[in-house]
Amino acid sequence: MVYYSIFQIKTIEGLATVRSQAFLLRGKNKIINNSINPIKKRKGEKRLTQSELAFLGEISQPTISQFEIGGVVPSEVQIRKITEILGIGPGTLNKELHQFYEDKKKELKKRIEGEQGNAKIPV
């Protein structure tokens, strides 16, 4: 299932309308509770948008989006830039990202097991 939301962001030229989509993972008629990506969490604490973090870190906004949904793992250089902006240490962010990706892997494996019956996937 996909949900769309429409919102406006500030740009140099003025306001721009953006369509965002969120995917919900379902397992046996219940939504799987995803852990929050630490980049997204910390960005929110600093009241930064993806576009603002991207601009400050010289990283594209779609790349920041991919970091937040777990589609792409940030490189060491990108982690250094992001941690400088967010005011945390690289070790802290690496530890939090590692936990996020491990949780995401477990959720996906549970979903696959649910769809395949009793098939087991090593964790």
Give the tens place of pLDDT for each residue, 19-59: 444 444 444 434 444 578 999 999 999 999 999 999 999 99
8 assigned to some structural domain? no
Element (H, E) at 84: helix 76-86
Cα separation, 121 vs 101, in Å, equals 16
Phi/psi region, residue 117 (left: phi>0; alpha: psi -120 to 50; beta: rest), is left
Q: Which residue has the higher pLDDT, 123 or 18?
A: 123
How is residue 95 written in tokens? 């530890």
Give the tens place of pLDDT for each residue, 58-117: 999 999 999 998 888 999 999 999 999 999 999 999 999 999 999 888 988 988 888 776
- Which domain does 64 fall in, by range? 34-115
Instruction: Answer for the pair 50, 66: CB distance below 8 angstroms, yes or no.
Output: no
107 assigned to some structural domain? yes
84 assigned to some structural domain? yes
Phi/psi region, residue 19 (left: phi>0; alpha: psi -120 to 50; beta: rest), is beta
20 assigned to some structural domain? no
83 assigned to some structural domain? yes
Number of domains, the chain: 1
Asked whether the whole model's pTM tops 0.75, one would answer: no
3 assigned to some structural domain? no
- CATH number (domain holding residue 65): 1.10.260.40
